[in-house]
Structure 1
Amino acid sequence: MRVQQLTFAALALAAGISLSACQNNDSDSAQDSQPPASSAPSDSSAPSNASDPTSGSPQDDGTGSGGQETSAGKPPAQSGGTGKCRTDNLTFTAVDSAGGGDEDNGFIALGLTNHGSTPCILSGFAGVDLTTNGGPISAAREGQPATPVTLQVGKEIDFGLTYPLNKTGGSGVRITGMLVTPPGETKPAHVNWPGAATLPASDTSSAVRVGPIGSAGQGG
């Protein structure tokens, strides 16, 4: 009887140990079967988006211009109009015209011819200065300027200059040459003086007058 009780106790102990071992094995198996948790990348490791309007970077629209598209990658062409006539592109002529003046004044017809490669614009008054043995004399403007004229290549336009004739019988003021400056220009051209050799000594500065461009006929 004593032996049977020991045997039953031993069997019960063995069964308890076996049950505990099975439970531990089941727990370990359940833990082993669960996949490891994946860690998501932090915001700081995510790549930046260049087209994100909040990033402060210009969007690339494929033109390489930071969103400002131009034709063929070049800035738009600027259109230019006809420019004013330049001294270097003009030929200057001066002809004495006895019929253009009166008994007290002589008349010089001055011509400007466009020998440049493109048309140019003339308007207003040319500057005319006579060189004399008594110093330069600037012609005063006379008349109203006409509308601007486009001077085509090879064409001429004229204007007139009046000056007092020396009828005093004295030597007067001797004219040695003439400087003509186109309207809007600063560079003068030297032109031979074709008129009378002298001017009267008195009131000469106010008596030499130049008309507006086109006042002596227009060569178109």
Structure 2
Amino acid sequence: MRVHKLTFAALAVAAGLTLTACQNGEDGAAQGGPSSASSAASTPPSSSTPSSPGGGSSPGGSDQGGGKGSAGTGSNGKGTAAGTGSTGSTENAKADKCRTDDLEITAIDSTIGGDTDGTVAVQLKNRGSRDCTLSEYAGVDLKTSAGSLSAQRTGEHPGPAVLKKGAAISFGVTYPLNTSGGSGVRVTGLVVTPPDETKSVTLAWPGAATLPVTDGTGSPVKVGPIGSAGQGG
């Protein structure tokens, strides 16, 4: 009887182990079956999606977010064409320098009674085919019985002036009047060189016939900038 009881007990334990193994196999098949494989196939591993070095979006996302459409485009949506208008207006405002051959140069006495200094107004008229530019000061020399006398600039800087075709502009030449009663220095001519030019024009001197004799250094004759003696038409 004792032997039969032990045999039955061993059979019961073996049956229990067999049942547990079968249950575990069924659970494993349920977990690793077709539905689980399908889910794994539909979700790619994270390593298949590249990322930017800084941890931002991937290169593909960068192209979609602001790549080709914004590259090389100005604030008005037309790129470098935005500056075309201002460049064109600057070029249109430019004019060539006035040349001596395109200018009609004349001089008149414009001294006002009671002044201690005499004044000669030199006029430059544009007789060329287009507008031109004069920059501040012309060169002025007086021919005298004592030699050539160069006028000194008064020092103002009004900037260049555009002289329209057919228009005229003037500048002033001032000099001391000879009130000494002596013969003084006789003036025989006026030499004018337009700004930025080397060709001069010699005119008859329209002012007082003589200058006082001075012992001081420097020239007593002064020249003002272009436009300092009014503007003609």
Tell me the TM-score normalised to structure 2 length.
0.57
Alignment check: 8 A CA contact 1:138 1:205 kept: no
Partner of 1:218: 231
1:82 corresponds to 2:95: yes
**Alpha-carbon separation, structure 1, partners of 2:114 and 2:172:** 14
Q: Could you list the per-position Cα deviations for residues 111-134 of structure 1 after superposition, in whole angstroms to 9, with x for gaps in the alignment? A: 000001111001210000000110
CA distance in 1, matches of 2:217, 2:111: 19
Aligned to 1:95: 108
Structure 2: distance between partners of 1:205 and 1:96: 23
**Alignment-derived partner of residue 117 in structure 1:** 129
| 1:136 is the counterpart of 2:145 | no
| Alpha-carbon distance in 1 for matches of 2:148, 2:114 | 24
Match of 1:194 among 191, 201, 206: 206
Higher helix share: 2
Q: Structure 1's 142 and 102: CA in aligned 2 closer, same or farther, altered over 3 A?
A: farther
% same residue: 56
1:1-220 to structure 2, matched below 5 A, reads 81-99=94-112, 103-202=115-214, 203=216, 205-219=218-232
Q: Deviations over 1:187-216 (max 9, x none)?
A: 111111100000001148521000000111
Cα offset for 1:182?
0.6
Report the secondary structure of 1:98's partner residue: coil
Find the residue that maps to 2:97 and give its secondary structure. Answer: coil
Does the CA contact (< 8 Å) of 2:136 and 2:161 recur in 1?
no
The total of aligned residue pairs comes to 141
Structure 1 position 104, deviation (Å): 2.1
SS state of the match for residue 88, structure 1? Answer: helix
Q: Spell out, residue by residue over 1:61-109, the C-alpha distance to the aligned partner (whole angstroms, 9 max, x if none).
A: xxxxxxxxxxxxxxxxxx895210011110111111122x853210111
Q: Write the distance in 1 (CA, Å) between the matches of 2:232 and 2:155.
A: 19
Unmatched 5+ residue regions in structure 2?
1-90
CA distances 1:25-67 after superposition (whole Å, capped 9, x unpaired):
xxxxxxxxxxxxxxxxxxxxxxxxxxxxxxxxxxxxxxxxxxx
5+ residue gaps, structure 1, are: 1-78
Give runs of ≥4 in structure 1 deviating > 3 Å: none
Amino acid at match of 1:182: P
TM-score normalized by structure 1?
Answer: 0.60
- In 2, Cα distance between the equivalents of 1:92 and 1:161? 14
Q: Distance in 1 between matches of 2:219 and 2:181?
A: 20
State the AA in 2 paired with 1:176. Answer: T
Cα separation, 1, equivalents of 2:101 and 2:227: 20
